[in-house]
Amino acid sequence: MFALLRSGQRAEPAHDPRTAQNPTDLGGIQLFEALVSDTHAAALRTAAIASSVNALSAGPLLKSPQLLQAILPQQPTVLAELPRCQKELGLKLDTPPILKAFFDSFGHAGTCIAAFCEDADRSGIERAVFLHFTNLSTVWRRVSDLALKAVAALHPEILRCLPQRYGENTAVLRKLLEQVLRGERPCLDVNGVPFLPELPQRRPAARLEINRPCVVEHQGKTVRAIVRDISSSGVGLERAPDLVPLKVAVIEFDDGRCLAGVVVWSKAGKAGIKFDSPLGPTDPFLV
């Protein structure tokens, strides 16, 4: 977490911003944050279902097939905004097709689960396993492979744009997905109930509108602006001059509190500042 600074005191980020790639426009960073969160959640649900399907190879270890329908991954609402993310964040050209292939796989995979559950209700789980296991295994192995590719494709962009804990999700999800691709069941408990392990970062940081005046110290100049919103990971500015991406900015509020971060985007009087370390959940700005 950033230490609080006295007025006029400079703050430097923990990393050297010159080592990061300079994106041309990060106006869609909030949208990208939601896309990453939804992708990670879908990958986690994929690992849980694939774990359950793997367990069927040893007999009907799954307590209730209907539990699978409750955790089916869903296409994210931001899927239609992939072209905007591509344009504003400069995503690699192959990233959107990889994500789309993963999300598009949910439809058929979900239909297979529904057919399995229907036969389990009508004829019993042992009969349903006999009829559907081979197809379920093939389908959810493919979805798991697509999930692994989607998580890997997003990782470099996460390191460039989002807080560190989103990057930590990558290692957790890779391990789970690699396990299910080996036929293991890391997301099924001893009672045959699928579960979703905790991720280091489960959802985007909430953005609170505060509309507070501030003074921004940047590149040796001091200017006035408005902090439109704040989250644990950064602030959004309005009425701000053009700021230089990947350079340090210190924001001083009218009560004397100062926060520092790195400019991640600046356009048409608006800007986004990303904190090196997130504010704590009990920080006065977030409570």
pLDDT for position 21: 40
125-160 CB burial, b ≥16 within 10 A, e <16: beebbeebeeebbebbbebbbbbbbbbebbbebbeb
pLDDT for position 130: 92
Alpha carbon separation from 203 to 206, 207, 235, 238 (Å, rounded): 9, 12, 17, 25
Instruction: Evaluate if pTM is beyond 0.85.
Output: no
Tens-of-pLDDT digits for all 287 residues of the chain? 333 333 344 443 333 333 334 343 444 677 788 889 889 999 999 999 999 999 998 765 677 888 898 889 988 767 777 887 777 777 888 888 999 999 999 999 999 999 999 999 999 988 999 999 999 999 999 999 999 999 999 999 898 888 888 999 999 999 999 999 999 999 998 888 888 888 988 765 667 889 999 999 999 999 999 999 898 888 999 999 899 988 899 999 999 999 998 888 888 888 889 886 677 766 788 76
For the chain, the 3-state helix, strand and coil shares in percent, each to the nearest 5, are 45, 20, 35
pLDDT for position 11: 41
205-274, CATH topology level: Thrombin, subunit H (2.40.10)
pLDDT for position 52: 93
DSSP 123-155: H-HHHHHHHHHHHHHHHHHHHHHHHHHHHHHHH
Longest dimension (CA), the chain: 74
pLDDT for position 60: 55
Question: No. of H helices and E strands in the chain?
Answer: 7, 6
pLDDT for position 144: 98
